[in-house]
Every structure is written in C-alpha cells, then in structure tokens.
Amino acid sequence: MLNFFGGKDKAGGGPAANERVPRHSSGWGQLLERLRSEESLRVLDIGPTSSTNINFITALGHSIYLANLVEDAAKREWLLPEENGAAGKFDVERFLATHLNFSGRGFDVVLFWDTADYLPEELLGPVLGRIHEVMAPGGSMLAMFHSAPSALVQDAASTDFCRYHLTDSNKVDVQRAGDYPLLNNYTNRQIEKLLAPFSGFHFFLGKDNLREVLVTR
C-alpha cells in the first residue's frame, strides 16, 4: 500500500524486534545536507513505514511518499499461473502499475535502502527503471547492498529485513521489520550495470556487511 504525506508546500543473534541499533551511514549524511539546504523537496521512502521518517522529513518542509515493495513483492498473488497450475513468472507489469504508479509525481530524493536484495531478480531492473523515470534530473538515491557472507563468519543479524529510521546526524537507526529471505547478493560490477541508466553513483564501504551507493539521476 502507498501513502503520501505532505510537507509545507508541495532474528538469530540480531536485535530484538523493537530495538533500534544506530548505524553510521555516509550516504545518509550527504543526503541530509541536501535536505537541510534546499526547500520543498519530494522524498520517496521505499521501505517499511516509519513514523520517525515521516515526521523528520515533513519537519524539514519536504513531502514524503512511502512504498513497502519487499512486503508486497513477497505475496504469491504476483506469480502468474502456468498451464499445470504451478506458480510461474512474476507479474512485473501488474506489480509496477499497482505499487509504483505515482500519478505524475516526481521525486528529488529516493531512499531505496537495501530493497534490491529482497526483490525477485526479474523485478529489480523494472523497479529501478520506474524510479529512474520519476526522479528529477539531479535527484539523489541512497541504495544499500549486502556483501556476500563469509564462509567462515556468519552474522545472523546481517540478513534481517530491517526498517531504517532517519536521524539528525550521519547515522540511521536500524530495526528488525520482518523475516523475508535475502534473495540476492550483487557484486559491485552487477550493481554498476543495474545503475547504468543513472548519470553517476558513488560507493561507500561500511564496516559491516552493507555497501552504500549514492546515486545521481
């Protein structure tokens, strides 16, 4: 389900379900500078609903639009039936029309978080294509990608599906939000190919298992 909120103008060893764990985010730190310096931006937050994010963005005078794609994409209703009755390919076009129809709105900032790793592979390219279409020239997107787990070190918290809460610093608060499976581990080269339609991107290497990418439309 999609919700729009207006601004002034326009798991294992992981944290408990209600626990918020601070995480340094260089990408968010850069986006925060833009949100502080510009007025009446439109923000697309793709992830579990966070009242913290709604209040934070609107308090800065911007508008925020929400879409929880991972939860919706996990439903079997999007799998097209085959002749033998088994579930077949993902119904990409119907999913885009239902969940990424922005009614002509454009966005200046997109918070994509680690959505890419939880979407079916055949859906990710079209989703990024739709986001590219609706981002304003010069728009910014923050995306995160999980690194492949080490054969020797398995961090149970690393694959928890999480909600990311914004803060007034270069940190985000991370909170478990579900038990959806991690479907993909993209290499840097694969990420570059996925982001090829955009005008530029910059990788940030974190101390944990997440790579951040700040993308420019």
Instruction: Report pLDDT for 16.
Output: 60
Instruction: Report pLDDT for 157.
Output: 41
pLDDT tens digits, residue range 129-144?
999 999 999 999 999 9
d(CA 45, CA 113): 8
Instruction: Report pLDDT for 86.
Output: 55
User: Binning pLDDT at 50, 70 and 90, where does residue 156 land?
Assistant: very low
State mean pLDDT over 44-60: 96
Q: Is the model's pTM score more than 0.85? A: yes
pLDDT tens digits, residue range 17-28?
678 999 999 999
Candidate from 91-100, 112-121, 144-153, 203-212 with smallest mean pLDDT: 144-153
How many domains are contained in the chain?
1
- Of 59, 69, 198, 208, the residue nearest 139 (C-alpha): 198
Range of the domain at 10: 2-216
Strands 135-146 and 161-166: unpaired
State mean pLDDT over 51-65: 97
The CATH number linked to 50 is 3.40.50.150
**H or E element, residue 30:** helix 26-37
Higher pLDDT, 6 or 112: 112
User: Binning pLDDT at 50, 70 and 90, where does residue 89 land?
Assistant: confident
State mean pLDDT over 191-213: 92
Q: Please say whether the beta carbons of 42 and 105 come within 8 A.
A: yes
